[in-house]
Structure 1
Amino acid sequence: MKILLFNLCFLAVVSCKKENADTIQNNSGNDNVTINKSSEKSNDSISSIEDIKKEYTAVNNLLSAKQLDSTKFTYNCDEKEGEVVFYYENKDLRMVKDFYAEHSHFSSSTKYYVKNNKVFFIFKEETAWNFDKGGTPEKPEIKDDINEKRIYVLNDKAIQCLEKNYTIRSKGNNKNPDSVPNKETKCNISGLMKNYNLILKNKDRKGEINCL
């Protein structure tokens, strides 16, 4: 009788230990799934300037490799003539480029970098050209005064704004633009985001339209 009771107790203990081990193993598996999903989500999101820089590089690499599809439309608003190009990766919008020229002496290019339908970086370049000293009426010398803005964006708000100015002349030695340091400035992107939203409203348009 003692032997029977001992055997029954032993089986109960072994069964309990096995059940606890299975439970721990299952819970461990669930934790791994949760961790992996959380890791995937964090890798797919942008939450810092470093994330923005990495994603900016990734989009530019895709552009250089010609791995993005594109569509475009043109617009004509008084003396402002422009072109908007949309770049897609597997039907997901990755960048919008808005370029226009105005009054013959001015041009502007704005690139909106996008991930998960959110703008995360804006690069804006404005160029004003004028006649420079020297040259002749037949062969005038020209200079381009260029302003560049680099804007880091999170949740539709600028978190850092950098700006540089430099001049390129048609004659003479020019400083390498990459050697010109950026200066951190305060900026308001409400106008740029308003323009971006107007562009999105026309993204399915074909041919030429009037003002945005």
Structure 2
Amino acid sequence: MKKLFLISGFIMIISCKKENQQKTVGNSFPEDSLNIHSNVDSLRSKNNLSSIDGIKKEYGLVNSKLTAKILDSASFKFECDERSGNVVYYSEKGILKAIKYFTADSHFSSVEKYFISDDQPYFVFKDETVWSFDGGSPEKPETKDDVTQQRIYLSDNKIIQCLEKKFTIKSSAANRPNPDTIPNKENKNCSLKEVQDTFALLIKNKDKKGSTKCL
């Protein structure tokens, strides 16, 4: 009987995690990624993407249109072995501005957001979560989410800065950490090849529609 409760609890948690992950896919790009707020009317300006300040401004401008839901979008779903997810492409007058790439399995989820100018990414935001059981009882198991976020600034196909923050969210905790208040730390080991390979894969599949298998 105890095993039956444990299995039931496990299935319930998996279902809740999957539902939360799907809600994440539906959300627009978060304002807190760079803490930039911009007027939509200023989107006609052209920013210098060779500096971090210019990248932040350009991100803010594009994110304003994403928040206002005035960019065109196209998407497809995929399922590969035990992982599934979707990809959304955002464009303006046929010009690609951003890509959101979501993937998840039973204990892992990842959202990667690529902001694009002249067919190349200038800013990438990654949000990865690994969850596991963390005590409790078979009837009421507790979990924890180990979250890693990266903010990658690029210019001329080079990483000019990579910031990272890590935090843990426990289901048993009365107060959960606010990601906005957790400081970023510079990471010198961010992989340019990983960014380029994933971006190339997403561009290769940009004309897909509906559902597909592995990318």
Fold-level similarity (TM above 0.5):
yes
Q: Report the equivalent of 2:110.
A: 108
Structure 1 distance, partners of 2:62, 2:167, is 26
Offset at residue 176 of structure 1 (A) = 1.4
For 2:207 and 2:133, locate their aligned partners in 1 and report how far apart those are by CA, in whole Å.
40
168-177 or 82-91: which moved more?
A: 168-177
Structure 1 residue 153 and structure 2 residue 154: aligned? yes
Q: State the match for 1:144 in structure 2.
A: 145
Distance 1:167 1:195 in 2: 26
CA RMSD of aligned residues (A): 1.5
| Secondary structure at 2:207 match in 1 | coil
Q: Structure 2 unaligned runs (5+)?
A: 1-44
2:75 corresponds to: 72
Deviations 1:76-134 (A, max 9, x none): 221121200001122211110110002x000111100012222100001110011123x
- 1:75 and 1:192 map into 2 onto residues whose CA distance is 20
Structure 1 unaligned regions, length at least 5: 1-41
- Rounded Cα–Cα distance in structure 2 between residues aligned with 1:209 and 1:180: 38
In 2, Cα distance between the equivalents of 1:137 and 1:58?
48
Q: Which structure: larger Rg?
A: 1
Runs of 4+ in 1 over 3 A off after TM superposition: 42-45
User: Once the two structures are superposed, what CA deviation does each residue of 1:41-99 show, in whole Å capped at 9, x if it has no partner?
Assistant: x9354221101000111121111111111100112221121200001122211110110
Residue 96 (structure 2) aligns with: 93
Name the count of aligned residue pairs: 169
Q: Which has the higher contact order (CA 8 A, sep 6+)?
A: 2
TM (norm. structure 2) is 0.74
Distance 1:97 1:167, change over 3 A: same
